[in-house]
Amino acid sequence: MMDFLKTPVFGILLSVVCYEIGILIQRKTKNPILNPLLLAIIFVILVLIVFEIPKETYDLGGSYILFLLGPATVVMAVPLYRQINLLKKDWLPILVGIFVGSATSVLSVIGLARLFGVNIEIAVSMLPKSVTTAIGMEVSKEIGGVVSLTVAVIVLTGILGAVMGPFILKILGIKDEVAQGVAMGTASHAVGTSKAMELGETQGAMSGLSIGIAGLATVLIIPLVIGLLG
């Protein structure tokens, strides 16, 4: 048994099993709060704690999943390709919406951090909260953030966006499919995009596009405004 734990298979298998259980629970309950990703994270942590398994042991396989985040993000370009004519038609409002959304995300962190007197290291770690994990980790490293905290905040942001996004869009009366997709992808990256794909192919395509552009926008915006935390 100990030999099995020391192989990458353990971390990968544990992650897949926990996620599948999360999907099963979500399908049975139909409760949007019970997001499969959130449940999988909770189950993995519980298994590691209950059986006293070191995080380093899990990381032997978990690191492979982390590596696949980049390729998985690129794959989201497939639905975008199917909607390329729509992108050509509305490219300006789409780009403006993504850049404004990215700027709002970063500035909201700075504003709240100053308002509540948050430690600057913590505040810096939260700045890339609305970009995909692969991009957010690198940004956090460059600006002196705590990478593990950045990952946690990114995951939480994505889950909250997937759970609350459709409800907020409905309350605000936003029915345009392009606008829905841009909002979901810009605010809650890949997890939000998975939810946007459930809303429709156009929403999924625009959300997938927003992930990449929002990542680029965030990389450009953070160095310009990070001084406001000082």
Does this model's pTM top 0.85? My answer is no
Is residue 202 located within the same domain as residue 144? Answer: yes
Is residue 58 located within the same domain as residue 130? Answer: no
Range of the domain at 18: 2-67
Tokens of 204: 């999924």
Is residue 101 located within the same domain as residue 59? Answer: no
Cα separation, 127 vs 106, whole angstroms:
5
Is residue 28 located within the same domain as residue 104? Answer: no
In total, how many domains does the chain have? 2
Which of 43, 67, 91 delimits the end of a domain? 67
Which of 16, 44, 67 delimits the end of a domain? 67
Is residue 30 located within the same domain as residue 143? Answer: no
Which of 42, 67, 92 delimits the end of a domain? 67
Alpha-carbon distance values, 104 to 47, 116, 137, 221 (Å): 38, 18, 20, 10
Q: Which residue has the tokens 């995909």?
A: 132
Full pLDDT tens readout for the chain, 230 residues: 566 677 888 889 999 999 999 999 988 988 877 888 888 989 999 999 998 888 888 888 888 887 777 676 666 666 667 667 777 788 899 899 999 999 999 999 999 998 999 888 999 999 999 998 888 988 999 999 999 899 889 988 998 898 899 899 999 999 999 899 999 999 998 888 888 888 888 888 888 888 888 888 999 999 988 887 76
Is residue 17 located within the same domain as residue 95? Answer: no
H or E segment at 70? helix 69-75
Is residue 110 located within the same domain as residue 18? Answer: no
Is residue 137 located within the same domain as residue 218? Answer: yes
Secondary structure class of 108 (helix, strand, coil):
helix
Q: Return the CA Rg of the chain.
A: 18
Q: What is the per-residue DSSP string for 111-170?
A: HHHHHHT--HHHHHHHTTTTS-HHHHHHHHHHHT--HHHHHHHHHHHHHHHHHHHHHHHH
Cα separation, 22 vs 54, whole angstroms:
23
Is residue 174 located within the same domain as residue 110? Answer: yes
